[in-house]
Amino acid sequence: MLIIKNVNLETVCGPTSQLPRHTWPEFAFAGKSNVGKSTLINTLMNRKSLARVSGKPGKTQTINYYNVNDAFYLVDLPGYGYAATGAKVKEAWGPMIENYLGSSPSLKAVFLLVDIRHDPSPLDLQMFDWVLHNGFVPYIIATKADKLKRSQIPAAVLNVTQVLRSDSQFGHDVTIRVVPFSGTTRMGRDEIYSIMATVLTK
């Protein structure tokens, strides 16, 4: 089991920043604005306010590097898809994320967050395809699982899987792993820990 001993926000990169080069492994987390990415990061890192949880979507507009245990990095990518965000910021997000996915030599795995209650959006599918195009099969974290009855979760997970596979340009033949997650109940946290621990031992 992965044990979080210490964590701190080490580097923040904007659209014009040069991305850091690390020797320690990196795990990237991507998702639509307001999908619950900050809640997930806080839950994984056992912190209440490490990543800011905001009622206003689109808060994360930078790439944030969290140093964990002086052993690996958790990389919080900009949230996407918030309509009220300015055009210039929107234009910067895509290149920022694509640049990171394509140029970080220490990136070991990508986690893509989607809302378990809905079909993955066109932007979710675009991100899924970007990740595949860059040589990774993203682990899918289906957030807000506490909003469903437990009996509804398996069907919702199957729906997310089927939509990603059928509507993706590249994902028809890939094995898609979907982890239902809740920040309220911590459902899925240990499974995500297990994935990260396995990747770290490779």
The answer on pLDDT for 132 being more than 80 is yes
Which structure tokens are listed for 1?
A: 């089991």
Please say if the pLDDT value at position 98 is more than 80: yes
pLDDT tens for 143-169 read: 999 999 999 999 999 999 999 999 988
Tokens 């800011």, located at residue? 52
The predicted structure's pLDDT at residue 80 = 82
pTM of the model: 0.90
The DSSP letter of residue 144 is -
| Torsion angles phi and psi, residue 161, rounded to 5 | -60, -45
The predicted model gives 102-113 an average pLDDT of 95
pLDDT class for 171, splitting at 50, 70, 90?
A: confident
Among 81-85, 98-102, 151-155, the minimum mean pLDDT is found in 81-85
The strand pair at 7-13 and 107-115 is best described as unpaired
| Cα 82 to Cα 13: distance, rounded to the nearest angstrom | 20
Q: How far apart are CA 86 and CA 104, in angstroms?
A: 27
Residue 56: predicted pLDDT:
46
